[in-house]
């Protein structure tokens, strides 16, 4: 890994995150358990880094074949893509995070929401901002105070959005939570607001909820979907066991969707559990399970 980070410019944390979340490469292992990367892996990672430095999200380019990535990098070198409004807001938000300025961060996010609309704001600003904050904290470039302050601002923004939505009676029901042992609930809250904006009646249970209580809630309300966020649980084996228990307790018609930074590490999840890659994928899955009538933002200026 040290050689790969030196040759590509990626930090060890980002490299691990790209492997874990996006399966950017699949290195082998030595007898001692160390990662073993091929030259092709290194070339691919370097091209992916160039693509993201040009303003593209890793999730948008990670599946592109290496020859097409090379052509994309060459085009970007000759004609750099314009910076999108969402990218400008994201950059401004990250600056305020690093400056430990939560009130200014709130202003930046409020402006982004008003300028871009809810869907673009959630998918292209807030979700990548939270991911970037996690990466920066893990990499040591920001402290726990930065992460906590930014998270509080994100909660304010998401709670304001949820309060502003009116969902028509009769819409499909989604139960959203984090499983036992998972105390990070911001991803679940982000998923809940996204679902509510698409017309789902959302029951947000919060963090660290036992499988039997999630299942009981889903049965009581006839939920079509149960969504779980797995970000930093202390023990993935416990989460896997909880998922098996939850799946067995849910009605067969209820879809079980699992996303978050460490969801990929839970595979294989089984035929009746679906991994959610990102917020865009979550919204696509929701629409597939039950095309929903849109929620309506009635006080769109509130954040």
Q: Which two tokens stand for residue 161?
A: 């959005």
Regions of the chain short of the pLDDT cut 70: 168, 291-303
The tally of domains found in the chain comes to 3
At residue 168, the pLDDT reads: 63
Question: Does residue 132 share a domain with residue 215?
Answer: no
Q: Which of 127, 130, 132, 122 is nearest to 160 (CA)?
A: 122
Question: Does residue 29 share a domain with residue 48?
Answer: yes
Question: Does residue 104 share a domain with residue 89?
Answer: yes
Query: In this predicted model, what pLDDT tens digit does every residue of 181-208 receive, in sequence order?
Result: 999 999 999 999 999 998 899 999 999 9
At residue 29, the pLDDT reads: 87
Residue finishing a domain among 164, 184, 208: 164
Domain that holds residue 111: 85-164
* 180 belongs to a structural domain: yes
Question: Does residue 189 share a domain with residue 92?
Answer: no
Residue finishing a domain among 147, 164, 181: 164
pTM for the whole thing?
Answer: 0.74
* 302 belongs to a structural domain: no
* 38 belongs to a structural domain: yes
At residue 291, the pLDDT reads: 52
Query: In this predicted model, what pLDDT tens digit does every residue of 230-272 receive, in sequence order?
Result: 988 888 889 999 999 999 999 999 999 999 888 878 877 777 8
At residue 223, the pLDDT reads: 95
At residue 105, the pLDDT reads: 97
């Amino acid at each position: 890994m040290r050689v790969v980070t030196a040759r590509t410019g990626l930090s060890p944390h980002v490299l691990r995150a790209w492997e874990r979340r996006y399966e950017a490469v699949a290195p082998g292992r030595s007898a001692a358990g160390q990662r073993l990367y091929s030259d092709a892996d290194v070339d691919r990672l370097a091209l992916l880094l160039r693509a993201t430095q040009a303003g593209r999200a890793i999730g948008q380019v990670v599946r592109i074949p290496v020859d097409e990535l090379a052509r994309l990098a060459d085009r970007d070198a000759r004609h750099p893509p314009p910076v999108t409004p969402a990218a400008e807001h994201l950059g401004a938000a990250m600056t305020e995070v690093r400056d430990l300025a939560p009130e200014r961060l709130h202003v930046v996010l409020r402006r982004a929401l008003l300028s871009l609309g809810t869907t673009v704001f959630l998918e292209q600003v807030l979700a990548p901002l939270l991911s970037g904050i996690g990466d920066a904290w893990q990499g040591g470039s920001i402290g726990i105070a930065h992460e906590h302050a930014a998270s509080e601002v994100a909660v304010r923004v998401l709670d304001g959005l949820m309060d502003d939505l009116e969902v028509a009676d009769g819409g499909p029901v989604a139960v959203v939570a984090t499983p036992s042992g998972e105390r990070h609930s911001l991803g679940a809250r982000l998923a809940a607001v996204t679902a509510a904006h698409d017309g789902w009646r959302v029951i947000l249970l919060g963090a660290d909820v036992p499988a039997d209580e999630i299942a009981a809630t889903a049965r009581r309300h006839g939920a079509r979907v149960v969504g779980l966020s797995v970000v930093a649980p202390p023990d993935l084996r416990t989460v896997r066991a909880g998922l098996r228990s939850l799946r067995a307790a849910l009605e067969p018609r209820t879809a079980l969707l699992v996303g978050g930074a460490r969801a990929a590490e839970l595979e294989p999840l089984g035929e009746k559990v679906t991994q959610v890659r990102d917020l865009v994928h979550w919204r696509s899955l929701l629409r597939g399970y039950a095309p929903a009538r849109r929620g309506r933002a009635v006080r769109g200026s509130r954040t």
